[in-house]
Amino acid sequence: MTADVDSALDPFLALTDAQLNELAFNDNTGTGRDARILQFPLPADGDYYILATRAGLLNGTTTGDYDLVFTVGQIALQPGAVTATLEWSGEADLNLFVRAPTGRIVSWAVPRIPSGGALQIDSNTNCETPSAQPVEHIFWPPDALLEGTYDIWVWYQNDCMMDGPVAFSLNVTVNGETILEVSPEDNVTLRPDNRYEAQIRVVEGGQSFVIESGNITRPTPQQRASQGGDTPIVYGQSVTATINDQVYGRFYRFAGNEGDTIRITAETLTGTLDPILVLRDADDNNLAVNDDISPSNRNAVITYTLPANGQYIIAVTRYGLREGTTNGDYRLTLELIPSPQPE
| Domain at 191, CATH number | 2.60.60.30
- Determine the pLDDT at residue 272: 96
Question: How buried is 12 (Cβ within 10 angstroms: 0-12 exposed, 13-18 middle, 19+ buried)?
Answer: buried
Task: Note whether 61 and 192 are same-domain residues.
Answer: no
- Determine the pLDDT at residue 7: 65
Task: Note whether 243 and 329 are same-domain residues.
Answer: yes
Task: Note whether 217 and 238 are same-domain residues.
Answer: no
Rounded Cα distance, 138 and 123, in Å: 12
Q: Would the pLDDT of 54 be above 90?
A: no
* Strand partners of residue 302: 264
Q: Which of 158, 191, 223 is the last residue of a domain?
A: 223
User: Domain for residue 54, yes or no?
Assistant: yes
- Determine the pLDDT at residue 30: 53
Task: Note whether 27 and 90 are same-domain residues.
Answer: no
Task: Note whether 325 and 257 are same-domain residues.
Answer: yes
Q: Would the pLDDT of 325 be above 80?
A: yes
Dump pLDDT digits (tens) for 56-70. 777 777 788 888 888
- Determine the pLDDT at residue 298: 93
Task: Note whether 203 and 128 are same-domain residues.
Answer: yes
Task: Note whether 112 and 52 are same-domain residues.
Answer: no
Rounded Cα distance, 136 and 80, in Å: 15
Q: How many CB atoms lie within 10 A of CB 320?
A: 12
Question: To 5 degrees, how large is the angle CA 108–CA 136–CA 229?
Answer: 20
- Determine the pLDDT at residue 28: 63
Q: Average pLDDT for residues 205-213, to the nearest whole number?
A: 92
Distances (CA, A) of 138 to 54, 83, 113, 191, 250: 27, 6, 11, 22, 25
User: Domain for residue 16, yes or no?
Assistant: yes
| 140 neighbors 80 (Cβ within 8 angstroms) | yes
User: Domain for residue 63, yes or no?
Assistant: yes
Banded model confidence at residue 92, pLDDT cuts 50, 70, 90: confident
Rounded Cα distance, 105 and 96, in Å: 10
User: Domain for residue 73, yes or no?
Assistant: no
| 182 neighbors 212 (Cβ within 8 angstroms) | no
Dump pLDDT digits (tens) for 128-156. 666 767 899 999 999 999 999 999 999 99
Write out the residue range of the structural domain in which residue 285 sits. 230-336
CA 144 to mean position of chain CA atoms: 22
User: Domain for residue 117, yes or no?
Assistant: yes
Task: Note whether 125 and 238 are same-domain residues.
Answer: no
- Determine the pLDDT at residue 69: 82
Q: Which of 39, 67, 95 is the last residue of a domain?
A: 67
| 313 neighbors 230 (Cβ within 8 angstroms) | yes
Task: Note whether 102 and 199 are same-domain residues.
Answer: yes
User: Domain for residue 163, yes or no?
Assistant: yes
User: Domain for residue 343, yes or no?
Assistant: no
**DSSP 8-state secondary structure symbol assigned to residue 180:** E
Rounded Cα distance, 305 and 287, in Å: 10
Task: Note whether 25 and 155 are same-domain residues.
Answer: no
Positive or negative torsion for Cα 229, 235, 237, 238: positive
Q: How many domains does the chain have?
A: 3
Task: Note whether 136 and 18 are same-domain residues.
Answer: no
Task: Note whether 244 and 166 are same-domain residues.
Answer: no
Dump pLDDT digits (tens) for 279-313. 999 888 999 999 989 899 999 999 999 999 888 99
Distances (CA, A) of 129 to 29, 122, 269, 334: 11, 11, 36, 28
Q: Is 27 helix (H, G, I), strand (E, B) or coil?
A: coil
Q: How many CB atoms lie within 10 A of CB 192?
A: 17
Banded model confidence at residue 6, pLDDT cuts 50, 70, 90: low
Q: Which of 207, 223, 239 is the last residue of a domain?
A: 223
User: Domain for residue 77, yes or no?
Assistant: no
CA 115 to mean position of chain CA atoms: 17
CATH number of the domain where residue 244 is located: 2.60.120.380
- Determine the pLDDT at residue 94: 92
Q: Would the pLDDT of 5 be above 60?
A: no
